[in-house]
């Protein structure tokens, strides 16, 4: 029942995204044929090229042609690169996904201990310091953070080489190293959000009766916080992290530009500039699909964290 309902919502959302990505981009003026042929092209030349590119005829017919292809996992050919959309995405996706995953990992690794520490030191110096710093982290845009990181750790200290991406298949260590700075830049605002959120939910949970029970057993403070309180406090935090994963993905499109990483972000910019309909549609669809899947994973993690949901 659960899976049936889940799959149904997944399909419905995807169908809606399919519609939206197709029509939203067609509303924007300009088309690929005139973009390729330039200002002086005649109407005949343009319609000839349109036919060649498969973007002629009424919009709804175009849509059904495209949607039919998508169902068979055929996303068409890119106009700009004259390559299948799927293989173009496949070459860029690992960079973006690993960047997003890395920044998510950094976010959790840093934010969880800090949030707990802030809650435990409530009202004392450590709490104040963490809260103030996280306010700052929230205010800094990640592209600026990226530039500063390049300047300090790339150009001045020379700990990282900037602007050279080594694929994972070539050298995993160098790949990891080249993704570290952009992942940090992306993670900073996320860390700030999670720290503040976790601090609040921890403090809320600490007033609960079960915490008193745990203490009355003689458990150490660390045990009470990490085992009893954290698990309960994480339930609402997971929602925030899940929602923000979309934001991390969007942010990575920008940060790839700052660090000149060959990911989805730069591909998308090029595709939009060239009115490369099939490529843009394919990428937006894929990004939407990723976000939906992440939300699904969030849902699953609730079931792991909260036994009440698990048994329903």
Partner 1 sequence: MPLLTDWVKKAIEPEPSSQQRNCRLPEAGERDEDELLAVRNLSVNVKSSSRPVIEGIDLTVGRGEIVGIVGESGCGKSVLSLSIMGLLPSALKLGGGELRLNGQSLHQASQRQIRSMRGKHMSMIFQDPMTSLNPTLTIGEQLTESLRLHLKLGGREARERAVLWLRRTGLPRPEAILSSYPHQLSGGMRQRVMIAIALCCEPELLIADEPTTALDVTIQAQILDVLFRIREEEQTSILFISHDLGVIAELCDRVAVMYAGQIVEQGTVEELFESPQHPYTIGLMKSIPKPEKKGMRLYAIPGTVPSLHDRGEGCRFQSRCAHAAAICLDAMPALEHRGGSHAVRCFLASGERREMDV
Cβ-contact 127, 118 below 8 angstroms: yes
- Does 307 sit near partner 1 (CB under 8 A)? yes
Here the tokens at position 120 are 């435990």
- Does 208 sit near partner 1 (CB under 8 A)? yes
Shortest CB 295 distance to partner 1, Å: 22
Cβ-contact 75, 85 below 8 angstroms: yes
- Does 125 sit near partner 1 (CB under 8 A)? no
Shortest CB 220 distance to partner 1, Å: 7
Nearest to 168 by CA among 262, 84, 282: 262
Question: Which C-beta is closer to partner 1: that of 292 or that of 298?
Answer: 298
Question: Which C-beta is closer to partner 1: that of 88 or that of 229?
Answer: 229
Could you tell me which stretch among 89-97, 98-106, 164-172, 220-228 binds partner 1 (CB under 8 A)? 220-228
- Does 311 sit near partner 1 (CB under 8 A)? yes
How is the chain split among helix, strand and coil, in percent rounded to 5?
Answer: 80, 0, 20
Of 219, 250, 254, 269, the one binding partner 1 (CB under 8 A) is 219
- Does 266 sit near partner 1 (CB under 8 A)? no
- Helix 125-139, helix 85-120: angle, nearest 10: 150
Of 86, 121, 214, 250, the one binding partner 1 (CB under 8 A) is 214
Could you tell me which stretch among 174-182, 214-222, 262-270, 280-288 binds partner 1 (CB under 8 A)? 214-222
Nearest to 92 by CA among 270, 245, 243: 270
- Does 210 sit near partner 1 (CB under 8 A)? yes
Question: Which C-beta is closer to partner 1: that of 14 or that of 219?
Answer: 219
Who's near 85: CB < 8 A, 6+ residues apart? 75, 76, 77, 78, 278, 279, 282, 283
* Site residues (CB under 8 A) for partner 1, limited to 223-262: 223, 227-228, 231-232, 235
Give the Cβ contact number of residue 133 at 10 Å.
15
Calculate the alpha carbon distances from 44 to 26, 34, 36, 277 in Å. Answer: 21, 11, 14, 21
Residues that bind partner 1 (CB under 8 A): 208-210, 212-220, 223, 227-228, 231-232, 235, 305-308, 311
């Amino acid at each position: 029942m659960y899976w049936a309902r889940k799959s149904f919502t997944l399909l419905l959302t995807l169908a809606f995204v399919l519609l939206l990505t197709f029509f939203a981009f067609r509303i924007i003026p300009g088309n690929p044929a005139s973009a390729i042929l330039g200002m002086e092209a005649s109407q005949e030349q343009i319609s000839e090229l349109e036919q060649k590119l498969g973007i002629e005829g009424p919009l709804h017919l175009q849509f059904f042609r495209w949607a039919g292809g998508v169902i068979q996992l055929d996303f068409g050919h890119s106009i700009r690169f004259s390559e299948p959309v799927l293989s173009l995405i496949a070459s860029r996706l690992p960079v973006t996904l690993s960047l997003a995953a890395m920044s998510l990992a950094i976010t959790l690794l840093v934010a969880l201990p800090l949030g707990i520490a802030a809650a435990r030191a409530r009202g004392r110096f450590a709490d104040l310091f963490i809260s103030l710093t996280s306010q700052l982290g929230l205010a800094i845009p990640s592209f600026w953070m990226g530039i500063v990181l390049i300047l300090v750790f790339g150009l001045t200290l020379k700990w990282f080489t900037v602007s050279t991406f080594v694929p994972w298949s070539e050298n995993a260590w160098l790949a990891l190293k080249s993704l570290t700075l952009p992942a940090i830049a992306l993670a900073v605002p996320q860390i700030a959000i999670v720290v503040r959120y976790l601090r609040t939910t921890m403090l809320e949970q600490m007033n609960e009766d079960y915490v008193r029970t745990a203490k009355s057993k003689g458990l150490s403070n660390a045990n009470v916080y990490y085992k009893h309180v954290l698990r309960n406090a994480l339930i609402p935090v997971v929602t925030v992290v899940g929602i923000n994963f979309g934001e991390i993905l969007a942010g990575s499109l920008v940060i790839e530009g700052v660090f000149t990483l060959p990911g989805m972000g730069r591909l998308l910019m090029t595709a939009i500039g060239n009115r490369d309909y099939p490529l843009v549609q394919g990428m937006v669809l894929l990004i939407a699909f990723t976000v939906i899947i992440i939300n699904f994973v969030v849902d699953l993690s609730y079931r792991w964290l909260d036994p009440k949901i698990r048994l329903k």
